[in-house]
Chains A and B, each alone.
Chain A
Amino acid sequence: MAKINGEDFNEVITIGEYLKKKGYTAARVAVMVNGEILSKNEYDCTKIQPDDEVEIVGFVGGG
């Protein structure tokens, strides 16, 4: 089973679909798959694989 931000996930969808479903804005996130950064142009063609560990950072403004 895949893990996204530490939670179990077992649907076969793309990163792009997941972000949309969860209400993330693609321009404000960084997505790490198994410790490596995923380029934005790969979001829509990268399917979440059963053993993937995905970390999504949704940035908020202020600094």
Chain B
Amino acid sequence: MKISEREFAEAVNSRSKSPIYDKMKAATVGIAGLGGLGSNIAAALVRSGIGRLVLADFDKVELSNINRQAYFLRDIGRRKTEALAEILREINPFCEIVTHDVRVDEKNCLEIFGECPIVCEAFDGAEEKAMLVNTLLSESKTVKIIAGSGMAGFGRANEIVTKKISERLFVCGDGKTDVADGEGLSASRVIICAGHIASKAVEIILA
């Protein structure tokens, strides 16, 4: 179905007393890691009319991702950057999507995300999470980071919260449930955490 951007914008703004589309359209958000958190954060943001996304992941879609990530079975074996960009365009063709098919590290993270006023940390590993937060907060004077920490297992939905650590750092999750402890990861709980991260990003954009 061919939809014009005006129609899409009107639909995003519908039922809202103050329209959000223009502010969302003007915003750029970076997402580091396109797994359970990143793919679901991206889907939420394009549904709200985000104008530009900078996506980074080096990985390919695997069957073991389908339990919680936004991909389809048809995507198995494809690069996450490419598969996710396609899914996002099917939701909102008016979002500009920049992809980096690369492992994010201390050396390249400012180059990849330096243009983003808001970066969502959505890696799987605790050390990668800490690396991104430490590097971007040190090397950029302005970026705001919303990180995810603690969303393994099932249930205890109300333990997942958004915590403000400083003016430039927010951490979403229960802060303790580590996937390394063997509880596994489930769509329901990972999506709650992704929703917290996306919601904080939208809140910052609309503030």
Residue among A27, A28, A39 with most chain B CB within 10 A? A28
Q: Does B167 contact A (CB under 8 A)?
A: yes
Q: Quick check: B130 and A30 within 8 Å, CB to CB?
A: yes
Q: Quick check: B167 and A35 within 8 Å, CB to CB?
A: yes
Q: Please tell me which stretch of A7-15, A44-52, A53-61 contacts chain B, meaning at least 4 of its Cβ atoms lie within 8 angstroms of it.
A: A53-61
* B109: min CB distance to chain A, Å: 14
**B124 partner residues in chain A, CB cutoff 8 A:** 61-63
* A9: min CB distance to chain B, Å: 17
Q: For B180, give its contact among A30, A58, A61, A63 (CB under 8 Å).
A: A61
Q: Quick check: A63 and B122 within 8 Å, CB to CB?
A: yes
The binding surface of chain A is classed by DSSP as mixed
Mask of B107-142 contacts with A, CB within 8 angstroms, 1/0: 000000000000000111111011001100110000
**A55 partner residues in chain B, CB cutoff 8 A:** 165-166
For the complex, what is the distance from the CA of A39 to the CA of B136, rounded to whole Å?
11
For the complex, what is the distance from the CA of A9 to the CA of B110, rounded to whole Å?
35
Q: Does B156 contact A (CB under 8 A)?
A: no
**B133 partner residues in chain A, CB cutoff 8 A:** 30, 37, 57, 59
* B173: min CB distance to chain A, Å: 8
Q: Quick check: B126 and A28 within 8 Å, CB to CB?
A: yes
**A60 partner residues in chain B, CB cutoff 8 A:** 126, 149-150, 152, 173, 175-180
Q: State whether A63 and B123 are in contact (beta carbons under 8 Å apart), knowing that A37-B134, A39-B138 are contacts in the complex.
A: yes
For the complex, what is the distance from the CA of A63 to the CA of B38, rounded to whole Å?
8
Q: For A59, give its contact among B33, B126, B190 (CB under 8 Å).
A: B126
Q: Quick check: B169 and A62 within 8 Å, CB to CB?
A: no
Q: Quick check: A62 and B166 within 8 Å, CB to CB?
A: no
**B126 partner residues in chain A, CB cutoff 8 A:** 25, 28, 59-61
**30 contacts across the A-B interface (CB closer than 8 A):** A29-B130, A30-B134, A30-B137, A30-B169, A32-B166, A35-B166, A35-B167, A37-B133, A37-B137, A37-B169, A40-B134, A55-B166, A57-B133, A57-B171, A60-B152, A60-B173, A60-B176, A61-B124, A61-B126, A61-B129, A62-B124, A62-B151, A62-B178, A62-B179, A62-B185, A62-B190, A63-B33, A63-B35, A63-B124, A63-B148
Nearest 4 pairs of A and B residues by beta carbon: A62-B179, A60-B178, A37-B137, A59-B129
A positions within 8 Å CB-CB of B: 25, 27-30, 32, 35-37, 39-40, 55, 57-63
